[in-house]
Amino acid sequence: MQTNKEEILWRLFLEGNADAFSAIFKLYYSPLHNYGLKICNNTQATEDCLQNFFIYLYEHRKGIKEVKSVKSYLFISFRRSLLTYLKKERTYTDIESVKAKSLNFEFSAEELRINQEFTTAKKETVTKILNTLSTREREVIYLKYYSKLSTSDIATTMSITYQSVSNTLQKAFTKLRNNIENNMLAAVLKK
């Protein structure tokens, strides 16, 4: 459920309030930009599409209905917009290849905010372990823990079922647990 502030901003935005639109833009530009970079790994394409996306939102606000979650709505709509943009720009031949090949979610050590006590070596190890996951698993982890979307919002964003999201999370955690145990065992055996 969205906060009262988001509900109020959204309603004001739909009524044409420029300050509300500006607040939504400032609140969601960075998370959407980061998500766009994860999808296409192209700063220029991400920024162009994001600007066009917000312009489109503002120009078509009268046709937009109330939404259950502003954040979820924006992630879903931006993802769809970016995939369409990439197809039009002929960066990729079709939407399915974009979904299959271009979602190169790679975690960087800087994105991991697990604990300040982690040493650089530990951050790099966790980053390597996260990057062993499949593309779909990395995207679900990213949306769940970095973008803080609910499981149902992730399902809608990725156009998969709630159960698929749950299963993907479970498989990802099983792989992560096994990789961590193997790394710990390898570290003990080195000593």
Boundaries of every domain in the chain: 1-104, 106-191
105 in Cβ contact with 37 (< 8 Å): no
Please give the full DSSP string across 38-70, using - where no structure is assigned: HHH--HHHHHHHHHHHHHHHHHTGGGPPP-S-H
In the numeric block, which tokens belong to residue 49? Answer: 């599409």
State the pLDDT at residue 176. 82
Check if the beta carbon of residue 103 is closer than 8 Å to that of residue 168. Answer: no
Domain 1-104 sits in CATH 1.10.510: no
CATH domain 106-191 topology? Arc Repressor Mutant, subunit A (1.10.10)
Residue 81's Cα: distance from chain center in Å? 14
pLDDT (0 to 100) of residue 26: 92
Please name the residue that has the structure tokens 């299959």: 100
In whole angstroms, what separates CA 8 from the centre of its chain?
A: 24
Tens-binned pLDDT, residue by residue, of the chain (191 aa): 445 788 888 999 999 899 999 999 999 999 999 999 988 888 999 999 999 999 999 999 989 888 888 999 999 999 999 988 888 876 444 555 545 544 556 666 556 554 444 556 566 777 788 888 898 999 998 898 888 899 999 999 999 999 999 999 999 888 888 887 776 666 666 65
The pLDDT assigned to 182 comes to: 74
pTM score, two decimals?
0.67
Q: How far apart are CA 77 and CA 86, in angstroms?
A: 14
Residue 163's pLDDT is: 95
